[in-house]
Structure 1
């Protein structure tokens, strides 16, 4: 039975396409949907951040997880999926429903939901491919989970106040802008590898 696991893993990876890329390609509309998500987060602004200076917090976004030169394509997809999934989870709570314009919030959720399935496939493949390897550094998704946990804790500490939500919204908009840069970089890498 122990000998079957590597064979099954190899078959799974091959079923997703070439083993080198693990068959994970950035979906065609991914950049466009991320830009739409970024714009929707901008539309959600309800108060001036200047009114919230006393509530500021440095959430320490782990920028290193978005350095496309460090990771394989599947790791990039896993990072993108984790960020979008965490944003979706954050805005899919009762507290978010109470804090934001319902129409824009529904559009945000829909846009995020459209992005997640393709990226989830790559996340699963990446996780299986990595199961037998020893990681010497913290996994990018673990760093992201810690970052978003800090955001959840902050919102709870601030009792989901308008200022807390506004500062989180701004933080997520900045993080999403970074993912758009990563996606554009991946698009460029895919185009370069496709032409050679």
Structure 2
């Protein structure tokens, strides 16, 4: 429980308003940590996904948000921060703790916290173009809306085991996509499209 409280306190400090450009490159260890969290989500499976096929749902993931071909680094960092923050929020909910192995859940939350620390260590400079700030805000809002859909789904399904399994698989898919984005963020260059 102490870990959860320290995570909440740290995340409150980490939450910031978008409006900057990335002034550092993420270390390769950040992508490795993301892959580790992806693997942890795989280990957390308690029931077969095949038993929950009737509960599957298209959550309308905002694919355009993770299109890294021309995505500026600042926008990518804020999108990743929001995805991690929303994932922590989801797995810190009261109805979540009964659904998962406590040790695996604590390890996942700890890994998410370390990823957020690494992203927070990247200082942001003021965005000079209003258009850039608006794009960042739109991307972050798309991620928030996506995760709100996950929360509503869990409520509708009364936090059933199958509902949690469907959400776990969905979050794992997000982690896979964000791992690719984070690997590209670890490269040098101003835009993700640069080699």
Q: Give TM class, smaller chain.
A: 0.7 to 0.9
Cα-Cα RMSD = 2.8
Unaligned runs of 5+ in 2: 1-19
Structure 1 residue runs without a partner (length 5+):
1-19
1:94 alignment partner, SS class:
coil
Give the whole-Å Cα distance in 1 for the aligned partners of 2:159 and 2:69. Answer: 37
Distance in 2 (alpha carbons) for counterparts of 1:189 and 1:70: 14
1:154-192 CA-to-partner distances (Å, cap 9, x unmatched) read 001111100000000000101100111111222234499
Q: Structure 2 residue aligned with 1:129, among 127, 130, 135?
A: 127
Which residue number in structure 2 is paired with residue 67 of structure 1? Answer: 67
Quote the Cα distance in structure 2 between the aligned partners of 1:152 and 1:182. Answer: 24
Superposed counterparts of 1:168-179, under 5 Å: 168-179=167-178
Render the CA deviation track for 1:42-80: whole Å, top value 9, x for unaligned.
Answer: 000011111112211100111111112232111111111
Are residues 21 and 144 of structure 1, via their aligned partners in 2, closer, same or farther at CA, if it must alter by over 3 Å? closer
C-alpha displacement at 1:21, in angstroms?
Answer: 5.4
Q: Is the contact made by 1:24 and 1:74 (CA closer than 8 Å) also made in structure 2?
A: no
Q: Distance in 2 between matches of 1:178 and 1:25?
A: 19
Greater CA radius of gyration, 1 or 2? Answer: 1
The answer to whether the Cα contact below 8 Å between 2:81 and 2:116 also exists between their aligned partners in 1 is yes
Confirm or deny that 1:146 pairs with 2:148: no
Higher relative contact order (CA 8 A, sep 6+): 2
SS of structure 2 residue aligned to 1:163: helix
